[in-house]
Chains A and B, each alone.
Chain A
Amino acid sequence: DQQVKQNSPSLSVQEGRISILNCDYTNSMFDYFLWYKKYPAEGPTFLISISSIKDKNEDGRFTVFLNKSAKHLSLHIVPSQPGDSAVYFCAASEGGSYIPTFGRGTSLIVHP
């Protein structure tokens, strides 16, 4: 049973526009959320995170929004660039765990 779901396997966006990647979770004990980015033939790299005590966290072009009541988070990339084309993984962890639970990923393609 998937506790972290990324229901869109892929997303295509025009350069300069906003990319919105979504993630839903089922475990109400999750209190820390992370986004990773993965290029082909490389391991995932940490992008941005958010604690459950916040509803928004920004880092440059990347913003993560958390809606605890809906058990939903989203990653916004503004403006999108071709170099952002990658697979994005959402991950979540609860206070009692040492490792996060990952979603299946969303492949983002940003067209020039």
Chain B
Amino acid sequence: KAGVTQTPRYLIKTRGQQVTLSCSPISGHRSVSWYQQTPGQGLQFLFEYFSETQRNKGNFPGRFSGRQFSNSRSEMNVSTLELGDSALYLCASSPGSMRGNNEQFFGPGTRLTVL
């Protein structure tokens, strides 16, 4: 089974621009979660999509948004980029249909640098 893929792997943008990141989950997985990783802050949860609906949301401003398509692929968009948005953005997938012990499978991440 192919793993979680994320594109692009690296991205450089300037302040004020917007960016779209893409994630393809493991085949059969219907839940896709997005995380931001910065030094010292660990994995901060952005949001989770399941069957094209946002099911959970973290504490990020509205500049961060996402969506999920019928094939479970997901995109994350960040508008009006700020320097502090520079981070590794990780996508994780899971079957998503069971509460509790959900092991998540992570992609390699997209390294976003905002200049």
Contact = CB atoms under 8 A, between A and B. Distances in A.
B31 interface: yes
B38 to A, nearest CB: 10
Q: How large is the interface on A (under 10, 10 to 19, 20 to 34, 35 or more residues)?
A: 20 to 34
Interface in B56-105: 56, 90-92, 94, 96, 98-105
Contacts, number: 75
Contacts of A101: 45
A51 interface: yes
Contact of A102 (B43, B55, B103): B43
28 contacts: A6-B42, A9-B40, A31-B100, A32-B101, A36-B106, A43-B106, A43-B107, A44-B43, A44-B106, A46-B103, A49-B101, A93-B101, A95-B99, A97-B100, A98-B31, A98-B55, A98-B56, A98-B96, A98-B102, A99-B104, A101-B45, A102-B42, A102-B45, A103-B42, A104-B40, A104-B42, A104-B43, A105-B42
Interface in A62-111: 89, 93-105
Q: Which of B91, B96, B102 has the most CB of A within 10 A?
A: B102
Nearest to B95: A98
Chain B contact residues: over half helix, strand or loop, or mixed?
strand
Interface of B: 4, 31, 33, 35, 40-43, 45, 48, 50, 55-56, 90-92, 94, 96, 98-109, 111
A76 B91 CA distance: 27
